[in-house]
Amino acid sequence: EMEAKMLPLLLLATLGKIGALVLVGHHGRPMPGSPYDISKNSAAVQQAVLGAAHSFNSQSNDAFLFKPSAVLRAQRQVVRGIRYIVDFQISRTVCPKRNRTSDLDRCRLQPPGRLAQTFRCHLELWLIPWKPGRETLELLCRSHQQGPVLIQTGSDQDPVLFV
């Protein structure tokens, strides 16, 4: 009778351990197909963030160009291609947009003051090696002062801007 009462508890404990293994994977590694952290400095992350900055600049009506100022978190997920999930900051530079400077490396950030502005952005980018181009699933940027400012979503081409 004691064994009969212990069997459901033992079964529940075993299922709990199996469930934990399914979510976490073997030896604490993430499950195949789930996002995992990658280096914020990797070439792929830097390229994705720079591409997002160019999209932001081409669609914003700001007088100055913006460039990435910090990568806060970067993840990669392998799902029918490679999906990058990146949280980063983009800040206003001293380069006027009318000069058409494409090399953001040459643009310094605005000094602290009334022209300085930083957005916190979330990017989801999907690269499918066997298909040309890239697919931007989401680019959402928020100003610290104003709350949600713009959302860009789209596929295959540059994202669409909703202000």
The tokens describing 64, both together, are 């100055």
| 144-157 pLDDT tens trace | 766 555 555 555 44
| 79-124 pLDDT tens trace | 888 999 999 999 999 999 987 766 899 999 999 999 999 999 999 9
The verdict on 59 and 18 lying in the same domain is: no
pLDDT of residue 157: 47
Is the pLDDT score of 38 beyond 90?
yes
Domain of 87? 36-162
The verdict on 68 and 12 lying in the same domain is: no
The count of other CB atoms within 10 Å of the CB of residue 76 is 17
What predicted TM-score, i.e. pTM, was given to this entire model? 0.71
The verdict on 45 and 27 lying in the same domain is: no
Segment 20-27 shows an average pLDDT of 47
Sign of the alpha-carbon torsion through 52, 54, 57, 59:
negative
pLDDT of residue 132: 78
Dihedral angle over CA of 41, 104, 60, 43, nearest 10: -20
The verdict on 78 and 20 lying in the same domain is: no
**Are the C-beta atoms of 127 and 133 separated by less than 8 Å?**
no
The verdict on 87 and 135 lying in the same domain is: yes
